[in-house]
Amino acid sequence: MRIGIGYDVHPFQQGRPLILGGVSIPSPVGLLGHSDADVLTHAIMDALLGAVGRGDIGRLFPDTDPALAGIRSLTLLEKVMAEVKALGFVPVNVDTVIMAQFPKLAPYTAAMQERLAPILGLEPDRLNIKATTTEGLGFIGRGEGIAAQAVVLLKAGSGHSP
């Protein structure tokens, strides 16, 4: 068994779509980043890479690589999962939290779960997605951006988790 943690944050940017967990969220602003800036998927990828001792997504997918400009984070997650499986591990469960003052994300967490679970090789009940505010505190509370955290549990083996 291996445990990994991940964290990601991106600032808001006018004129960009807001993508979280591979789902487009109606919002007047999106997140700034080299890719689609999906903080939830990035946190999950960092947790997966950490659990297998492969660093972080910045090492694997540097923001200086022009080929990665605007890439969908779900595509990157598929590559990370291929690496995890090649190293002989599969996810058992993933627990996440998105920290955002706005927009309200609860109506979209089930869609995020449906989008991410198959890529992770998990049944939806083994992927937990929570959303919270920071009660107006800090950069999130001031509406400057969104952050996400993830914890993953991996087991050695192949195929689907139990």
pLDDT tens per residue, range 79-110: 999 999 999 999 999 999 999 999 999 999 99
pLDDT digits (tens, 9 = 90+) for 7-59: 999 999 999 999 999 999 999 999 999 999 999 999 999 999 999 999 999 99
Decide if 161 is inside a domain: no
Q: Does residue 131 contact residue 96 with C-beta atoms inside 8 Å?
A: no
Decide if 162 is inside a domain: no
Q: What's residue 158's pLDDT?
A: 61
Q: Domain of 15: which CATH number?
A: 3.30.1330.50
pLDDT digits (tens, 9 = 90+) for 109-128: 999 999 999 999 999 999 99
Domain carrying residue 67: 2-156
Q: What's residue 157's pLDDT?
A: 81
Q: What's residue 39's pLDDT?
A: 98
Q: What's residue 50's pLDDT?
A: 98
Decide if 146 is inside a domain: yes
Provide the domain count of the chain: 1
